């Protein structure tokens, strides 16, 4: 009787193992069919041009030829294409993000991490060659346009969010003090204006890389004072009537809550005239057509532009300012307009430095180099 039960138990165990093996096989087959179907769909469906969540162009379908097949480039590009054009890609990215953080307990997902309610990007390590490149480009501008002129030259550096978050929460962190020292040392022709003491993490958007304009009056006042001018700092605060999702909302692949984007104005800012020299159009400081676009932050001076001027017809002083800047300058430059009759903003990521004399007469202006640590640490875009 005991032997019978043992035999029966063995048979039951074999049956269970057989069923489990069959279930595993069926699961693998089903997943394989789903994967192949989705891959085929990515090839057959019309490709998407742009990812709004990631704010980048997506890889397009590669062209097939005998040459691209023989050298392997077709399959390489096809793999990139299927990854970018995979159906339900955003949903899979969200699933992966939750798995990375909650299942595997990793601290970041593709260098994006979230602490204290703020999404930020790891900024590590310090790229000395990048700082050298940035310093070389600024030195070229100084030698070519500024060295023999009566110009007041200044440097100020905007810390990225990791300056406030990374070391505090145990993440690898750039040596920011070394970064500041290197840039100041290379740019000894410029007076350094330290604004780090005017900022903390609450001065930045939770889902975006940029700082919040409504938090910047003190920072703008320190810059103005450092350049020998003054601003009143009196503004009326307005809220944009659309939700703001910053760049890290899409890059994190997590359903982070939206924010409210605020902007500041007063009689001086309302009276300013902004000229976009790329297409010679004129407008105001805030371009409200941009609020419903891919990046509402572009309401500030219409977003990325190579050359812009802000003219203040009500300025009592006949002073001019030239700002070499990245996107952080778009939201703080308007707050400096009260102290200058004209501000020229130059972005040498989009306008080659050797062409500046075609557009700007450098003469008796204040000049401010205002760059974020993230751009200085990845300065290959500076031309």
What is residue 53's predicted lDDT score, i.e. its pLDDT?
64
Q: What is the pLDDT of residue 153?
A: 98
Q: How confident is the model over 330-357, as a mean pLDDT?
A: 97
Q: What is the pLDDT of residue 41?
A: 56
What's the pLDDT band for 31 if we cut at 50, 70, 90?
very low
Report the alpha-carbon distance of residue 210 to residue 199 in Å, rounded.
12
- Residue 231 pLDDT: 94
Q: What are phi and psi of 49, to 5 degrees?
A: -80, -35
What residues contact residue 32 under an 8 Å CB cut-off, 6+ apart? none
Our CA angle for 358, 268, 300, nearest 5°, is 60
pLDDT tier at 71, thresholds 50, 70, 90: confident
Question: Is 383's pLDDT higher than 90?
Answer: yes
Beta carbons within 8 Å of 86's beta carbon, 6+ residues apart? 38, 39, 42, 92
- Could you count the other beta carbons within 10 Å of the beta carbon of residue 111? 13
Cβ contact 122:171 at 8 Å? yes
Q: CB of 262 within 8 A of CB of 238?
A: yes
Average pLDDT over residues 36-48: 61
> Lowest mean pLDDT: which of 58-67, 236-245, 312-321?
58-67
What does the pLDDT average to over 323-349?
98
According to DSSP, residue 318 is labeled -
76 vs 367: which has the higher pLDDT: 367
Residue 299 reports pLDDT greater than 90: yes
Q: How far apart are CA 126 and CA 324, in angstroms?
A: 22
Q: What is the pLDDT of residue 74?
A: 72
pLDDT in tens, 172-220: 999 999 999 999 999 999 999 999 999 999 999 999 999 999 999 999 9
Give Cα 209 to chain centroid, integer Å. Answer: 5
CA torsion 308-312-315-318 (nearest 10°) is 40
How many whole angstroms separate alpha carbon 47 and alpha carbon 282?
Answer: 36
User: What pLDDT is recorded for position 2?
Assistant: 45
> What count of other Cβ atoms lies within 10 Å of the Cβ of residue 343?
26
Residues forming a β-bridge with 238: 263
Distance from C-alpha of 15 to C-alpha of 37, rounded to nearest angstrom: 32
The mean pLDDT of 5-23, rounded to a whole number, is 57
The pair of three-digit structure tokens given for residue 115, joined into one six-digit string: 């602490």
- Look over the chain and give the mean of its residue pLDDT values, rounded to a whole number: 87
pLDDT band of 80, cuts 50, 70, 90: confident
Q: CA nearest 238: which of 288, 276, 298, 292?
A: 288
| Residue, of 103 and 334, whose pLDDT is higher | 334
pLDDT 10s digits, 85-112: 667 666 667 766 667 666 666 778 889 9
Residue 81, pLDDT > 80, answer no
CA distance 191 to 358: 27
Q: For the full predicted model, state whether its pTM sits above 0.95.
A: no
Closest CA to 144 of 324, 328, 350, 296: 324
Average pLDDT score over residue span 221-239: 96
Model pLDDT, residue 4: 47
Using a pLDDT cut of 90, give the percent of the chain over it: 67
- Is it true that the peptide bond before 125 is cis, omega within 30 degrees of 0? yes
């Amino acid at each position: 009787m005991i032997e019978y039960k043992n035999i029966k138990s063995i048979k039951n165990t074999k049956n269970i193992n057989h069923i489990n093996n069959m279930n595993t096989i069926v699961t693998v087959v089903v997943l394989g069919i789903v994967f192949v179907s989705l891959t085929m769909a990515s090839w057959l469906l019309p490709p998407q041009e742009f990812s709004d969540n990631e704010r980048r162009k997506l890889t397009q379908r590669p062209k097939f030829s005998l040459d691209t097949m023989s050298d392997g480039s077709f399959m390489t590009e096809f793999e990139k294409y299927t990854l970018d054009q995979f159906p339900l890609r955003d949903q899979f990215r969200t699933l992966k993000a939750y798995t990375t953080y909650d299942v595997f307990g990793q601290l970041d997902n593709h260098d994006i991490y979230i602490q204290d309610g703020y999404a930020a990007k790891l900024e590590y390590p310090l790229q000395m060659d990048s700082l050298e490149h940035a310093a070389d480009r600024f030195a070229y501008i100084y030698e070519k346009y500024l060295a023999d002129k009566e110009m007041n030259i200044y440097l100020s550096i905007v810390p990225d969010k990791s300056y406030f978050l990374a070391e505090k929460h145990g993440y690898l962190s750039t040596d920011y003090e070394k970064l500041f020292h290197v840039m100041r040392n290379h740019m000894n022709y410029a007076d350094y204006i330290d604004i780090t003491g005017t900022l903390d993490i609450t001065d930045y958007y939770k889902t975006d890389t940029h700082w919040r304009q409504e938090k910047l009056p003190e920072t703008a006042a320190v810059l103005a004072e450092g350049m020998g001018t003054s601003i009143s700092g009196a503004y009326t605060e307005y809220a944009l009537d659309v939700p703001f999702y910053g760049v890290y909302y899409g890059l994190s692949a997590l359903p982070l809550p939206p924010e409210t984007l605020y902007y500041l104005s007063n009689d001086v800012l309302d009276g300013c005239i902004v000229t976009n020299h790329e297409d010679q159009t004129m407008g105001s400081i805030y371009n409200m057509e941009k609020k419903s676009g891919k990046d509402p932050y572009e309401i500030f001076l219409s977003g990325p532009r190579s050359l812009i001027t802000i003219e203040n017809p009500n300025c009592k002083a006949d002073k001019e300012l030239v700002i070499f800047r990245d996107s952080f300058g778009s939201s703080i430059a308007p707050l400096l307009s009260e102290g200058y009759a004209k501000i020229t903003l130059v972005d040498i990521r989009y306008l080659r430095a050797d062409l500046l004399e075609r557009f700007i007469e450098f003469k008796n202006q204040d000049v401010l180099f205002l760059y974020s640590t993230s751009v200085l640490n990845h300065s290959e875009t500076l031309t």
